[in-house]
């Protein structure tokens, strides 16, 4: 039996075994996806395990994504630009580090709404923001705006990505730009565990009807509810999770991922955990 795994914070990827094992079963692949929690000191040993012949590959989550750079044999362009590896692929005795989050975000938008136009707005300059910004750079938007409570952090991120039409703005400048926004993404933790929202109701009301509002969490947030009431396409982060996982699956196995099966497995697990 082959193995695939995720290392880092197991909470961050607790749904990954569910969807990957469902995909293995659907395609008749004799493999199992496991959680391999590891500290920073243990990470080199985990990566060494991936070099064994019975390991299909590894997903990496916080806080280890940047540290993997020094432990693999090559880093692919997307991971290098983002500054984070979330997928390790064994290849003839060598390990490649890649990042499937850009693909995952792009596919989640494509399947839920028409291509956004005008301005893209990203709230927050945390770990997920780089992938979202890089994905937006391929969507044909006129401008991409990035704002963060600490401006210097946003500026550092923007400089590292080198996207021509990406601009850092202060939070005080957001309101004036909202009527032109075709897609807004909450990449902060605001509202993940309570009823707070990264944009006030009156700000959300300034967004064009039919534009896209994304919250990277896996639950219905106040932000998404208000966006839906405004007539926006409200999208949570579940699609991104599924599609980044599907891309990892394909890189490891060479098989087309059964995305619908993976989605159904994740939704069923969410309902089980909620006691439905």
Of 214, 208, 199, 154, the C-alpha closest to 181 is 208
* Residue 65: active-site member: yes
Spot the catalytic one: 65, 107, 230, 243: 65
Give one DSSP letter per residue of the chain, joined into a string.
-EEEEEEE-TTTTTTHHHHHHHHHHHHT--EEEEEEE--TTTHHHHHHHHTSTTEEEEEE-TTSTTGGGGGSSEE-HHHHHHT---EEEEETTEEEEE--HHHHHHHHHHHHSSPP-SEEEEE--STTHHHHHHHHTTTT-SEEEEE-SSHHHHHHHHHHHT-TTEEE--GGGHHHHGGGEEEEEE-SSTTSSSS--SS-HHHHTTSPTT-EEEESSSS--HHHHHHHHHT-EEE-THHHHHHHHHHHHHHHHSS---HHHHHHHHHHHHHHHTT-
Q: Which positions are catalytic?
A: 65
């Amino acid at each position: 039996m082959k193995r695939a795994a995720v290392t880092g914070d197991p909470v961050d990827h607790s749904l990954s075994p569910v969807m990957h094992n469902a995909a293995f079963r659907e395609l008749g692949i004799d493999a199992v996806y496991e959680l391999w929690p590891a500290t920073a000191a243990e990470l080199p040993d985990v990566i060494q395990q991936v070099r064994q012949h019975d390991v299909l590959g590894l997903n990496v989550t916080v806080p280890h994504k940047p540290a993997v750079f020094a432990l693999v044999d090559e880093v692919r362009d997307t991971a290098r630009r983002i500054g984070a590896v979330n997928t390790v692929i064994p290849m003839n005795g060598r390990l490649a580090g890649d990042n499937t989050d850009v693909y995952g975000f792009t596919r989640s938008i494509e399947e839920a709404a028409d291509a956004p136009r005008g301005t893209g707005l990203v709230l927050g300059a945390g770990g997920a923001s780089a992938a979202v910004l890089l994905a937006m750079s391929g969507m044909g938007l006129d401008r991409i705006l990035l704002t963060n409570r600490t401006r210097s952090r946003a500026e550092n991120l923007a400089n590292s990505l080198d996207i021509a039409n990406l601009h850092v703005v202060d939070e005080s400048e957001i309101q004036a730009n909202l009527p032109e926004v075709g897609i807004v993404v909450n990449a902060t933790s605001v509202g993940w565990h309570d009823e707070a929202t990264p944009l006030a109701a009156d700000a959300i009301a300034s967004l064009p009807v039919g534009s896209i509002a994304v919250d990277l969490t896996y639950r219905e947030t106040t932000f998404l509810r208000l966006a839906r009431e405004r007539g926006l396409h409200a999208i949570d982060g579940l699609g991104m999770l599924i599609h980044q996982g599907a891309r990892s699956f394909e890189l490891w196995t060479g098989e087309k991922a059964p995305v619908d099966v993976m989605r159904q497995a994740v939704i069923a697990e969410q309902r089980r955990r909620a006691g439905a």
